[in-house]
């Protein structure tokens, strides 16, 4: 399904293949000879998405461009099934395996590999040729690459990357309280507004916004 979002329409090269049940929404540019697999979701949520040539986006992936963090994917990249990419930059010749996750503000340089279920945290930079092993975590700039059982070491770096502030614009509470009651109503309303104008084949796809 190809969805316009207001005046923003996907730009898809004539040589690209988009599976019938993939969703491509808004300010998305898809380059030549790209393949987008069944069930993939590519959405310019509040920032653009740009996919370079000869790139393969496999089944059930999610790609999101977000405010202040566009999603860009260079040429000759494989994004494996069930991968999740949000507001990050992916260099050329990168291999992202099944279940890989790459978060806002991250940068993966040329010829890197993120193997099955690997994670690249927000604002993390992987130098060229790096490998994140199966299930491991890359965090920081430059990245430290650590196994998931070394949580304290991961957190020592991750906490200063400031996920709540960078993604949602709120401070992390010092008293252990949750940010969710403050953030989620605002975030849900924002998503309803952004997608209120989604149209495919000339038909409105969303109902009225209710705060």
210 domain-assigned: no
* Segment 121-143 mean pLDDT: 97
pLDDT confidence of 197, banded at 50, 70, 90?
confident
Residues 74 and 171 in one domain: no
Residues 148 and 55 in one domain: yes
pLDDT at 59 over 70: yes
Residue 107, helix vs strand vs coil: strand
187 domain-assigned: yes
User: Mean pLDDT in the chain?
Assistant: 90
pLDDT at 202 over 70: no
Domain holding 181, by residue range, is 166-204
25 domain-assigned: yes
User: What are residue 183's phi and psi, to 5 degrees?
Assistant: -85, -45
Task: Pick the more confident residue, 158 or 40.
Answer: 40
pLDDT confidence of 58, banded at 50, 70, 90?
very high
Residues 177 and 149 in one domain: no
pLDDT confidence of 201, banded at 50, 70, 90?
very low
Residue (of 99, 103, 66, 164) closest to 90 by Cα position: 103
pLDDT confidence of 97, banded at 50, 70, 90?
very high
DSSP character for 185? H
Residues 172 and 90 in one domain: no
150 domain-assigned: yes
Q: Tell me the torsion sign for CA atoms 193, 17, 108, 140.
A: positive
pLDDT at 207 over 50: no
Residues 90 and 180 in one domain: no
Please give the tally of structural domains in the chain: 2
Kindly write down the DSSP assignment for every residue of 156-169, as one continuous string: HHHHHH-HIIIIIS
19 domain-assigned: yes
pLDDT at 99 over 50: yes
């Amino acid at each position: 399904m190809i969805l316009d979002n207001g005046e923003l329409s996907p730009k898809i090269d004539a040589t690209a293949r988009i599976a019938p049940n993939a969703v491509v929404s808004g300010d998305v540019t898809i380059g030549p000879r790209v393949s987008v697999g069944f069930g993939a979701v590519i959405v310019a949520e509040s920032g653009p998405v740009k996919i370079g040539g000869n790139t393969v986006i496999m089944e059930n992936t999610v790609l999101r461009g977000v405010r202040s963090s566009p999603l860009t994917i260079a040429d000759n990249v494989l994004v494996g099934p069930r991968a999740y990419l949000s507001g990050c930059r992916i260099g050329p010749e990168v291999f992202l395996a099944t279940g890989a996750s790459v978060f806002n503000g991250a940068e993966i340089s040329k010829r890197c590999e993120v193997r099955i279920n690997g994670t690249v945290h927000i604002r993390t930079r992987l130098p060229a040729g790096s490998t994140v092993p199966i299930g491991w975590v890359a965090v920081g700039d430059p990245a430290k690459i650590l196994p998931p059982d070394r949580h304290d070491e991961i957190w020592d770096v991750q906490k200063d990357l400031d996920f709540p502030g960078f993604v949602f614009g709120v401070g992390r509470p010092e008293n252990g309280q949750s940010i969710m009651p403050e953030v989620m109503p605002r975030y849900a309303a924002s998503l309803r507004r952004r997608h209120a104008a989604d149209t495919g084949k000339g038909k409105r796809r969303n109902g009225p916004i209710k705060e």
